Amino acid sequence: MERHEGSVNDSRGRLLRKNDRKEYDGRMSTEEFKVDGEELLGRIKQLIHEGNIRRITIKNEKGDTVLEIPLTLGAIGAVMAPMLAAVGAVAALVAKCSIVVEKK
C-alpha cells in the first residue's frame, strides 16, 4: 500500500481514504468507503467497472441502509441503467454516505 497525504492506495491501485475499511471472512471480502453525495455515482460506476462485486450497499450517515444493489454477471448490461438512476437520486438526498462492497 502506498500513502498519499492521508490517503492510501491499495494493492489494485485504488485510492482508499483514512475512514475506508477492508474485511475478509474467508469466503467474501467486504470494503467500506466513505464518500460525499456528489462523489457517490462516480464511485459506484468505478466499483462496477472493476468487477468481481456481488453486492453494493449504500448507507446514510447514521448507518441505515438506503439502497442495496445485488450484482450478478447478467445484470451488468441494460439492467444497470435504472439502478444507476436510483443511485443518482440517493446522491441528491444525502450529504455523506458509505458504500459497502461485498466481493467474492
End-to-end CA distance of the chain: 21
Phi then psi for residue 31, to 5 deg, are -125, 145
Question: Is 4 a member of any domain?
Answer: no
Question: Is 94 a member of any domain?
Answer: yes
Asked whether residue 91 carries a pLDDT value surpassing 90, the answer given is no
pLDDT bucket at 101, cuts 50 / 70 / 90: very high
Asked whether residue 90 carries a pLDDT value surpassing 70, the answer given is yes
pLDDT bucket at 77, cuts 50 / 70 / 90: low
Give the residue with greater pLDDT, 90 vs 6.
Answer: 90
Question: Is 34 a member of any domain?
Answer: yes
In this predicted structure, what is the pLDDT of residue 99? 92
Q: Please tell me the distance from the alpha carbon of residue 41 to that of residue 88, in angstroms, as a whole number.
A: 6
Question: Is 14 a member of any domain?
Answer: no
Q: pLDDT digit string (tens) for 31-76?
A: 999 999 889 999 988 988 887 888 999 999 999 999 998 886 555 5
Asked whether residue 6 carries a pLDDT value surpassing 50, the answer given is no
Look at the chain and report how many structural domains it folds into. 1
Place of cell 446522491: 91
Question: Is 2 a member of any domain?
Answer: no
Give percent of the chain with pLDDT exceeding 90: 29
Domain that holds residue 54: 19-103
Residues in contact with 7: Cβ distance below 8 Å, sequence separation at least 6, in sequence order: 15, 16, 17, 18
